[in-house]
Amino acid sequence: MARYICTVCGYEYNEEDGDADNDILEGTLFEDLPAEWTCPMCGVGKEDFEKDFDEEEDDDEE
């Protein structure tokens, strides 16, 4: 699971937690968020998020 950071306001989307306020279930991958999903804090779209790369890079088993 990864986290994505809003580059505008710093909100963190954590795939493990989802976004309950917007009916996003726990474990929803960022790429699987609906296109209309926006930052709950500032309202920008997914294109203004970037992946948070620190730690937890041991999770990918491709």
Judged by the rule CB under 5 A, the positions of this chain that interact with Zn ion are: 6, 8-9, 11, 39, 41-42
Residue 24 DSSP symbol = B
User: Closest distance between Zn ion and the C-beta of residue 38, in Å?
Assistant: 8
Nearer to Zn ion, 38 or 59 (CB): 38
* Residues 18, 24 contacting (CB under 8 angstroms): yes
Rounded distance between C-alpha atoms, residue 57 and residue 7, angstroms: 20
User: Closest distance between Zn ion and the C-beta of residue 45, in Å?
Assistant: 10
User: Closest distance between Zn ion and the C-beta of residue 57, in Å?
Assistant: 24
Rounded distance between C-alpha atoms, residue 42 and residue 45, angstroms: 9
